[in-house]
Amino acid sequence: MLFLSGKQVSHFYTPHCMGIQQIFFLITLIIVGSAAVRSYGRVFRNIRLGRDEVIDGNEGARWKNVLLVAFGQKKMFTRIVPAFLHLFIYLAFLITQIELIEIVVDGVFGTHRIFAPFLGTFYTLIISVIEMLSVLALVATLAFLWRRNVKPVGRFVKPEMTGWPSIDANIILLAEIVLIGAIFSMNSADAVLQGLDSDYYPSTGKFAISGLFGPALMENWDKNVLVLIERAGWWVHILVVFGFILYLPISKHLHILFAFPNTYFARLEPAGQMTNMPEVMQEVKSMLGLGEGQTETNYDELPEFGAKDVFDLSWKNILDAYTCTECGRCTAECPANLTGKKLSPRKIMMDVRDRAEEVGRNLDSGSSKFIHVDHQTNGRLSPKNYDDGKSLFDRISAEELHACTTCNACVEACPVLINPLDIILQMRRYEILTKSAGPQDWVPMFTSLENSGSVWQISTERDAWTQDVNT
């Protein structure tokens, strides 16, 4: 039933314009829902541009990562002050979802604070906790604005953070201030209206903050003004949330959602353990006569090793890129970056995400100019025949890749278990094994490995010392 009467159910909110508001809410909900399905669908499509990678085993350890790292914010607490500031916003975000569910239900069914009569004093407690956390979140938000704009932390002013990344962070922080203001405006006006019209405004008890400041500030205000403030707060609240939902796919704040699957699928092996390439292992074993039944493999054409573009990375690598919080802890810990070299692990992740987004936009265009010349007769554009003449190497320079010391400092520092090193290694492998390129300083090492099995150019065989032991 679209129009609900306050005489039928006392806690239903039914001013004369409620029916129009209800219709507008339903239309908005449908539009936002449809747009969100398309936006998040594109993100998942972009993640699936990567090659398949099977990640399974030890579900207990994976759920432990989710609980401790994603939910528990475990790795954030290596820096206590920002950890607590982030925790205030995080807890406020989680618990506010209870109030958000009520707002959506009220919007769909034309009710007002539908949970209040059923939950009683527990409802008062929940909203009071939300208000107290909102105050802490406001303090944290102002502190983060200060740390980014007034007296910026070093890791927030790196070259890759100029332009959109900096704007993106500020947009969300300012939106949070608007959201908190809407919550208190709505609750404060509602607290006064409960005493003026109990048919439309059910008793909720006295909330911790708005229950005090609302009556103190608005007790003698006109009822129509109070209704306008309450409704404005309600609508601003839900519209900011809707805007946030649509904004996430183009923002670094997508980590709010992706941190959970990313920590679940994170590598469980020791950080220093590097992934071998099966093709290379097979060739080495064949050359050394290891493994029964191993025969030399003949290739019609040389295979490509490593990763040139997002298609060569795994879906987990691209999920890492979309999960990146751009906090810069990886770059702040990177010894190469600390010594003035160009490498920034954060930039690597941002470049992978930007490249995936670029490929996704081109695929959405359907333009035949992006179809590889060898597949022009195959019809529609798809990831299998895509070619725009670009790659990750157009964004990530050889200088950056060569600067990495593979120390895993970036992997250890990441608060959501992202692995920038894996991407760096895959691109290095492509450069060296497929392109036969790389720094000239490395050539003697490769030659020595090939000739004597040692990275050092020595005149004797590597295992010569064993002959003395045997004698």
The one-letter amino acid code at 345 reads: P
Query: Hey, how many other C-beta atoms are within 10 angstroms of the C-beta on 433?
Result: 18
User: Which tokens is 170 given?
Assistant: 């500020």
In angstroms, rounded to a whole number, what is the distance separating the alpha carbons of residues 296 and 336?
Answer: 40
Q: Which residue type does 424 have?
A: I
Nearest to 326 by CA among 142, 81, 177, 148: 148
Q: How far apart are CA 47 and CA 357, in angstroms?
A: 10
Helix (H), strand (E) at residue 449: helix 443-452
- pLDDT at residue number 301: 61
**How many of the other CB atoms lie within 10 Å of CB of 454?**
14
Q: What is the pLDDT of residue 441?
A: 81
Instruction: Supply the pLDDT for residue 447.
Output: 79
Residue 185's CB: how many other CB atoms inside 10 A? 21
How many angstroms separate the first and last alpha carbons of the chain?
97
DSSP assignment letter at 160:
G
What's the rounded Cα separation, in Å, for the pair 147 and 82?
10
Which helix (DSSP H) or strand (DSSP E) does residue 179 occupy?
A: helix 164-196
pLDDT tens string, the chain, 471 residues long: the values are: 333 333 333 333 444 456 788 899 999 999 999 999 999 999 999 999 999 999 988 999 999 999 999 999 999 988 898 899 999 999 999 999 999 999 999 999 888 899 998 899 999 999 999 999 999 999 999 999 999 999 999 999 999 999 999 999 999 999 999 999 999 999 999 999 998 877 778 889 899 999 998 899 998 899 889 999 999 999 999 999 999 999 999 999 999 999 999 999 999 988 878 888 777 777 777 766 676 555 555 555 666 789 999 999 999 999 999 999 999 999 999 999 999 999 999 999 999 999 999 999 999 999 989 988 776 656 789 998 999 999 999 999 999 999 999 999 999 999 999 999 999 999 999 998 888 887 888 878 877 777 776 777 777 766 677 777 765
Interior angle at CA 438, CA 288 and CA 302, nearest 5? 50
**Chain centroid to CA 41: how far?**
15
pLDDT (0 to 100) of residue 12: 39
Residue 387 · residue 309 · CB < 8 Å: no
**Residue 35: burial class (beta carbons within 10 Å; 0-12, 13-18, 19+):** middle
- The model's pTM: 0.87
Tokens of 291: 């493994």
Amino acid type, 109: F
Kindly report the backbone phi and psi dihedral angles of residue 215, in degrees, each rounded to the nearest multiple of 5, phi listed first. Answer: -60, -35
Name the residue with tokens 């029916």: 19
Pick the CATH number of 301-452 from 1.10.3470, 1.20.950, 1.10.3210, 1.10.1060: 1.10.1060
Phi/psi of residue 11, nearest 5 degrees? -90, 5
Contacts (Cβ under 8 Å, ≥6 apart) of 69: 75, 259, 263, 415, 416, 417
Non-local CB neighbours of 200 within 8 Å, separated by 6+ positions: 6, 12, 13, 14, 15, 112, 193
- Asked if 155 and 327 count as a contact pair (C-beta separation under 8 A), the reply is yes
Say what the pLDDT of residue 2 is. 35
Contacts of 338 (CB under 8 A, 6+ apart): none
The full set of domain ranges for the chain reads: 18-261, 301-452
